[in-house]
Structure 1
């Protein structure tokens, strides 16, 4: 009888580690559901690498670790996955926080065993993409496996400026039609538990619906729009860079899509407030790289307003000269001009 009782006691404590991790994640969730999701992903990923176990399978002896093993994990993320410094820091931080929690709850572990020197900030090192390059990538992605889903992810990424973690967390129920226009609105809870919403054009929403038509997609019933892993996205970007002959020194990664719209706003004369709103930043400290220190005094407002330019000057140019001026403009300015040209053509066809 005592043996049976002891077996029951052991059974009750079999999942103690998982219960402790769950309690920690519950605490994190009070601050932000988005942070809780990212922390759980990071913790699960670490223990799958370190012990090849799911959290539900962990035992107390699985928590034992040497700091040099954390150093190897950091190198694994940098070398095998080519992740940036900031993302690697973000994946390591939840492990330290978890071990702090476990040590306070009488586990024989120390947070110092998993603490690493923080890698230097490389947040501004992600290479820039133009709108044209981003769209070319979307078209090329169509030729890959799960092409419709990959192409749509790229288009939603560069038009909404959402982070990858937010994009992969979009549900069909997060999308609704805007009663004031013919566009759709997608709403997410992003970094810091902040709510963000962005418009989706009818064409882009229809592209999203095409994902549902793919044969493989029928196995999903979790309401999430995208079902692409980090490894799949990493491989997609590697193939796209090779196909477009993009050199390594440009450092084009998936995060590069996030800044496409911001750079478009800057190049087309938009202000820093519009950029801040597009990127969802609460302050301006993160936008320094959009603010040039090199003042172009010849193009500052005080000079431009008083410059005497003939209002009919464009009429003095022939077609070739006008095209020459247009072709010298930035990619973003060209897109604006092409959009206006399309409107004029549509009006002609309606007559």
Structure 2
């Protein structure tokens, strides 16, 4: 009996991997969005991450560049996957990063399986369990501390001190991610005629269009950047990068005596606006969620620095009797002092009550 001959096909593994990466670009793209610069839609960060993971895997396990791969190189055993995980651990990668890399590889192999059925066995990925991870949040900061950092950068940074100061102030007011802030253009900030303030609209995580407001006073501060920049660039924070900002924050922490082991990072600034809205909205968690552009309140709570307060819990307030005597004995100065220091929601309710009398 004649042996069955496997039909030959002109496989081009590298081209198919490129197809996978292009697919990731398409899925992460916002299309021809008016909120993205043309150059920002070419190669996504998602694609860069997948590409790096794929190149590293084949270089370590097969000793090849992806451009030199042949179909036989796609065959992978469970021992090879285990050895690769051990290699990554020895390189010092945390389990979260290793899990992400393994997910990237499984998605690539799932994409390639249709054309490489004779070489790919997806079940091998199920033999390697996900590594246990410990969720470690970055340290939180306050508006006061963030403003100190901003001012320190303005006084002590040699390059773009004003821009770095305003970046920090912009971050704590908008709660946008760093990458989104660095993409903000002047034309993304538009006057809201109903309030006299400004609406900022950006593409944030997950290609989601998000908007928030900034006060006219702060917008006028931002305009100082236009006065400094004679080139009239599109970007508000032209010339800044995440890397340069990380270095600036590290230097500022050192100058201000903030312990280096404290995990105060650029992303910490996002939580400041979330905390501010929560405290000044009468502890409205949904308002805080909207400020953070989160899909659920559990994510929002990770950014908040609120402490447990049982004073307003049902178990306390249901049986609490309120003595109104101090209300009738209070002086005008007492009321003025109270409303000068109360949260915005309470103050606005009082003003509305007075105006509707």
TMscore range, shorter length: 0.5 to 0.7
Alignment partners' CA distance in 2, 1:22 and 1:168: 24
Question: Which residue number corresponds to residue 23 of structure 1?
Answer: 22
Decide whether aligned partners of structure 1 residues 305 and 155 sit closer, same or farther in structure 2, where only a CA change above 3 A counts.
farther
Q: 2:179 aligns with which of 144, 165, 169?
A: 165
The structure-2 alpha-carbon separation of the partners of 1:119 and 1:247, relative to structure 1 and needing over 3 Å to count, comes to farther
Q: Paired residue for 1:270, among 272, 283, 293? A: 283
Specify the alignment match of 2:111 in structure 1. Answer: 101
Contact 1:126 1:256 in 2 (8 A): yes
Question: TM-score, structure 2 length as denominator?
Answer: 0.64
Whether 2:311 is the aligned partner of 1:296: answer: yes
How many equivalent residue pairs?
303
2:272 maps to 1:279:
no
Give SS of 1:243's match.
helix
Deviation at 1:73, TM superposition (A): 6.0
- Cα drift, residue 137 of structure 1: 1.0
CA distance in 1, matches of 2:294, 2:273: 14
Structure 2 counterpart SS, 1:186: strand
Task: Map 1:201-240 onto structure 2 (within 5 A).
Answer: 201-214=215-228, 218=231, 223=235, 225-240=237-252
Q: Decide which of 190, 194, 204 is 1:180's aligned counterpart.
A: 194
**What is the CA-CA distance between 1:149 and the residue it aligns to?**
2.4
Aligned residue for 2:139?
127
Give the aligned partner of residue 190 of structure 1.
204
Offset at residue 281 of structure 1 (A) = 1.8
Which one has the largest radius of gyration? 2
Return the alpha-carbon distance in structure 2 between the equivalents of residues 335 and 316 of structure 1: 14
RMSD: 4.8
Does the 8 Å CA contact 1:141/1:236 hold for their aligned counterparts? yes
Match of 2:210, SS? strand
Unaligned runs of 5+ in 2: 1-9, 60-64, 348-357
Q: Which residue of 2 aligns with 1:39?
A: 46
More helix by share: 1
For the Cα contact (< 8 Å) 2:179–2:242, is it kept in 1?
A: no
* Structure 1 contact 24–101 (Cα < 8 Å) conserved: no
Displacement of 1:49: 7.8
Residue in 2 that maps onto 1:307: 323
Which moved further from structure 2: 130-139 or 307-316?
A: 307-316
Q: Where in structure 1 are there 5+ consecutive unaligned residues? A: 1-9, 52-56, 80-84, 327-332, 341-351
Cα shift at 1:230:
3.0
Q: Is the 8 A contact 1:237 1:254 kept in 2?
A: yes
Tell me if structure 1 keeps the 8 A contact 2:225–2:236.
no
Q: Secondary structure at the match of 2:190?
A: strand
- Mark the CA change 1:202 to 1:18 in structure 2 (over 3 Å): closer, same or farther: farther
SS at 1:59's partner residue? helix
